[in-house]
Amino acid sequence: MKFRSLGLAAAALLVALAAPASAQVNQHVFKIGAGLTEDHPQIKALKYFGEQLSARSGGKMTAQVHAGGSLGNDVTMTSALRGGTLEMTIPDSSTLVSLVKPFGVLNLPLTFNNEQEADAVLDGSFGQKLLARLPEKGLVGLGFWENGFRHVTNSRRPVARADDLSGLKLRVIQSPLFLDTFNALGANATPMPFTELYSAMESTAVDGQENPPATILASKFYEVQKHLVLSRHMYSAWVLLMSKKTWDGLSAQEQKIVQDAAREATLFERKAIRAFSETALADLKKAGMQITELPAAEQAKMRAKLQPVVAKFSKEFGEDTTAEMMSELGKVRGARTASK
């Protein structure tokens, strides 16, 4: 009887201890704005994030995903987060350069050799330092998601050499680095929000664009583009963001739920987009796109043309930051070589 009494007392104590923790989870609905279409892996991962939130909060915390640019483009949605009128969005990392310049180093041309290198740098101390710069700008970074290696499409001609890009009018992200990169390659770089891109290519206001295969396929660019060259000129990442005003309104337990859900969704997104990208090229060929790949010699020519751009923007984004990233990348490559 004594042991039963002790057991009941222990159970009562656990209930008492758990009650305050449970009380710290309130009802929250986070609106997430995104520019891509419903069938893109990014959107599926955002919905998975919402499922994780709900499961970890007993249904009290949920997410509503608004795809297709219905809430604006990367720039306007990021601004809405800073103003506290939108809870979450997931812009390309280049969008954040106007707020925190060092984010620009992630897009320096021809930096990463593969996705595993990017994961290690972004998930390591270097990537976390970048995210730590966001709260002072009214944003909280919850992780880096993969967009992937970017390639060029156009409606005019196949690209088999670096010089074949010359004269093509290509839409690029609204970023000086992207502008200078393609102007250095001889193209006519034209900044434009992603939400306006399809119609611009359809009307031939631009000849083409540059994006990873998953985006090219999910956005049905094959309907208005004939040629794709696997240029791998840049690696591109998204940043899962929450408004700091929203974040500050959460309890410590709620913040942990958001962080844990974001971590699981990051792993889900990378796996999903890589699987999707593996089949995307075959699907684009079936849809009628002609795909070429730059030989190593032509890739070297592209690298040579872009050296002044890399030098300029390494200074612009911070030489110390660039050196730190390259040092981190060197360690990653060294570790991978040693493990083989």
Query: Model confidence over 71-92: pLDDT tens digits?
Result: 999 999 999 999 999 999 999 9
Average pLDDT of the chain is 92
Condensed to tens digits (0 to 9), the pLDDT of residues 181-195 reads 999 999 999 999 998
* Cα 49 from chain centre: 15
Type of residue at 316: E
Task: Inform me whether the pLDDT recorded for 254 exceeds 70.
Answer: yes
Identify the burial level of 95 via C-beta atoms within 10 angstroms of its C-beta, where 0-12 means exposed, 13-18 middle and 19 or more buried: buried
**Alpha carbons 255 and 242: distance in angstroms, whole number:** 11
Q: How far apart are CA 260 and CA 254, in angstroms?
A: 10
Q: Which amino acid is at 15?
A: V
pLDDT of 51 reads: 98
DSSP 154: E
Q: Residue 130 pLDDT more than 70?
A: yes
- Residues 100-115: what's their mean pLDDT? 96
Q: How far is CA 220 from the centre of its chain?
A: 19
Decide if pLDDT at 299 tops 80: yes
Q: What is the pLDDT of residues 221-233, one digit of tens each?
A: 999 999 999 999 9
pLDDT band at residue 340 using 50, 70 and 90 as cut-offs = low
- pTM comes to 0.86
The domains of the chain are located at: 20-339
Return the half-sphere exposure (C-beta side, CA atoms, 13 A cut-off) of residue 126: 23
Domain 20-339 has CATH 3.40.190.170: yes
Sequence-distant (6+) residues with CB within 8 A of 199 are: none
DSSP 68: T
Classify strands 227-243 and 88-89 as parallel, antiparallel or unpaired: antiparallel
**pLDDT tier for residue 175 given thresholds of 50, 70 and 90:** confident
- Residues 91 and 97: beta-carbon distance below 8 Å: no
171 within 8 A of 197, measured Cβ to Cβ: yes
Using pLDDT thresholds of 50, 70 and 90, give the confidence band for residue 261.
Answer: very high
Residue 9 has pLDDT above 90, yes or no: no
Instruction: Give 235's strand partners.
Output: 149
Tell me what the mean pLDDT of segment 276-283 comes to. 92
